[in-house]
Amino acid sequence: MTWSRLRRGLLVLGAAAIPAFSTMADTYPSRPIKILVGFAPGSALDSFTRVYAQKLSEVLHTSVIVENKPGAAQITAIRAMQAAPADGYTLYMASGSSLAQGPGLRNDLPYDPLRDFALIGYLADLPGAIIVNPQLPVKNIVELIAHAKANPGKLNFGSSGVGTAGHLAGELFMARTGSKMQHVPYKSDTEAAKEVGTGTLQVAFTTLRTAAPLAAAGKVRALAVNDSRPHEQLPGVPPVTETASLKDMVPYSWYALAGHPKLPQAVVQQLSEASAKVNAMPDYVTITQNSGVIPQSSTPAVLRAFVQQEIAKWREVGKTVKIEF
C-alpha cells in the first residue's frame, strides 16, 4: 500500500463513525489520564502532545496530563507505560522512530510495537525539510545528490541525535541515492539547523517548523519538503516525492497514540473516537498546522497496517545501512 493510498484511508476511516461499546467505556474516564512523552519539554512531540491533551480533555471531560520521560530512545517512557495498569489512564504518545524506524533497523529493542502496544490511532504527520548552507553550490535536490556523489564523505549532515527522524532521513537519502555523507548528531533539531546556517554543517534533515523561519531569514536554503505535497511555510520549495528515487522518504515522522497491550478494546475504541473528534476541531487544526504538524485520524486497524508497512520498509533499508545506536 502506498503512503498516498494509506493517507486517504486514514482520512476516510478516521471520519467514519466508530461503534459504541458498553461495559468499561460507560465509566471511562473517571479520573485524570496521563500521556507519557519520551522527549524533553519543548520538543516537537512534546509541544504537539500538550495541544492534543488539552483538546482531548475537553472531549473526555477529564484532565489529561503530559508527563515527560526522556531517555534511551523513548524506551524509558515505553517501559513506564507498560508497567502501569492496563486501564487507559497511562498512555504513550509514540513517534515514527519508536513504532517503526527503530524496530525496523534494530534487533536489540526490548519491545515489539505490534505485540507490546495497543495501537489506538494515527494522530498527525510531522513534515520535514532538507536544508543546506546557502554557500553550498546546490540549488535543488538533484544538484545536492550530484554534489554529494562527486564528493563522497566530504559533506556533513546534522540531526537531533542518533536514531531520530532526521538521522534516519539522512541515512535513507544516502541509501536511495548512492551518496555518502558524515552524520553529526546534536541535542535538538534547532541546534543542528543553526549549525547549517553558520556553515559548520553543510546539510540537515530537520522538521518543517525548524527549517521555515531560518529559510525565511535567508540563513539556510531549503531544497525540499519531506512530504508528498508543498507547504505554505516554505513557499516555492517542492516536495521530496518529485524526485523519483526519494519517493519513500515520506512521511518524515508521524505521531500515534498507544496504550498498554492489555488495554480493553472498549477503551481503545473510545480513545480512537475521541481523537477523531479532536482532529475535527477547527481551532486545533489551525494551531497544529501553524506549528508544522498536520492532524490525521485513523482507526486502530489502519494504524496497525501502516506500522507493519513502515517496519517492512526500514527492515529493507537495514539490509544495506548499518547504524550504531
> What residue segments make up the domains of the chain, in order of their start?
3-126+252-318, 136-249
CA distance 92 to 319: 29
| SS percent in the chain: helix, strand, coil, step 5 | 45, 20, 35
Residue 320, pLDDT score: 81
Provide the CA 292 distance to its chain's centre, in angstroms: 12
Provide the CA 38 distance to its chain's centre, in angstroms: 12
- Total-model pTM: 0.84
What H or E segment, with its residue span, contains residue 128?
A: strand 128-132
DSSP-assigned states of every residue in 248-315: GG--SEEEEEEE-TT--HHHHHHHHHHHHHHHT-HHHHHHHHHTT-EE----HHHHHHHHHHHHHHHH
CA distance 284 to 294: 10
Residue 4, pLDDT score: 54
Q: Splitting the chain (325 residues) into consecutive groups of 10 residues, what average pLDDT does each group show?
A: 54 45 69 95 90 98 97 93 97 95 91 97 96 98 98 96 89 94 92 97 95 97 95 95 94 96 97 97 95 93 96 90 73
Q: Which residues, other chains included, contact 247 with Cβ-Cβ below 8 Å and sequence gap of 6+? A: 240, 241
Same fold flag, 3-126+252-318 and 136-249: yes
Residue 204, pLDDT score: 98
Cell of residue 271, nine digits: 480513545
Class of domain 3-126+252-318: alpha beta
CA distance 155 to 144: 10
Q: What is the CB-side half-sphere exposure of residue 265 using CA atoms within 13 A? A: 6
Residue 319, pLDDT score: 87
CA distance 26 to 62: 14
Q: For residue 188, what is the DSSP state? A: S
Considering only CA atoms, which of 168, 154, 244, 155 is closest in space to residue 205? 168
| CATH 3.40.1390.10 describes domain 136-249 | no
pLDDT per position as a tens digit, 65-82: 999 999 888 999 999 999
Establish whether the linkage from the previous residue to 113 is cis, with ω within 30° of 0: no
Residue 8, pLDDT score: 54
